[in-house]
Amino acid sequence: MKPRSPARVAVGVVGAALGIAYPFLVYFGLEQTSPAMIAVVVLAICVLRLVIVYRWRGSASLHGSTNIAAIALIALALAAIVTDSSGYLLWHPVLMNLVLFLIFSRSLRQPPSLIERFASLRHGELPGPARIYCRRVTLFWSGFFVVNGTIACLTVIVGNPRLWLVYNGMVSYGLIGLAFVVEFGIRIRYRRKHQALAAHGVAGGRDPVGP
């Protein structure tokens, strides 16, 4: 597998940092300044990210789903600047879950599944049972982002800033981490099961399974 370029690492770090810090930036920032000023900071970060993508990967990369999300966030930030309203800023977590759902679910309609693509980068072409497993994991994450996005939407509708921060800044990431741990445990058991079948020469157990 080829090492990631510094540009891709930079883009990934900026995107991840913005996603994690965003609820705290908005919540605590609104206690100190106006929604428009917070939106200016968000706008600057998003534009910087898109500039890095364009500079290092070309204009075609701006059509990717994650960058479309950044452009949508820029639109929300601009709306917050014009209206000086915090309401637009609160929809970012909902938007992120929607984008992730579209990315994962689209790969189910246009195989290989997203998880299979990730696994193939490390292990090469996967055998049949592994591809089925990867597809199930991709389906699981698609459903997860629907549920997570729905709850994030409810925290916006309820209109309680502290509830919005607690869920979108802490609980949501905790659930993602828990889902990763559970999936990893299932993957290990699934892999051992098929390795045991292979050891006994059972049909269908000759191929290694799991990303």
- Tokens 């629907």 -> residue: 146
Instruction: Give the chain's domain count.
Output: 2
Q: What is the pLDDT of residues 79-123, one digit of tens each?
A: 999 999 989 999 989 988 998 899 899 989 988 888 888 888 887
Domain final residue pick, 35, 60, 85? 85
* pTM of the complete model beyond 0.95: no
- Which residue segment(s) compose the domain that 171 sits in? 91-211
Q: Tens of pLDDT along 19-47?
A: 788 899 899 998 899 999 999 988 888 88
Domain termination residue (choose one: 21, 56, 85): 85
Nearest residue to 107 via CA among 144, 67, 134, 146: 134
> Are 73 and 118 contained in the same domain?
no
- Residue 42 CA to residue 73 CA, distance in Å, equals 8
pLDDT band at 209 (very low <50, low <70, confident <90, very high): very low
Taking the C-alpha atoms of residue 41 and residue 20, their distance in angstroms, rounded to an integer, is: 15
Closest by Cα among 179, 178, 187 to 133: 187
Computed on alpha carbons and rounded to an integer, the radius of gyration of the chain in Å comes to: 20
Helix (H, G, I), strand (E, B) or coil at 111: coil
Let me know whether 69 and 102 are in one domain. Answer: no
pLDDT at position 77 is: 92
- Residues 154, 50, single domain; the answer is no
Share of the chain above pLDDT 90, in %: 38
The pLDDT, as a whole number, for residue 206 is: 43
- Each residue's pLDDT tens digit, 65-79: 667 777 888 899 999
Residues 70 and 136 in one domain: no
Residue 204 backbone class (left: φ over 0; alpha: ψ -120 to 50; beta: rest): left
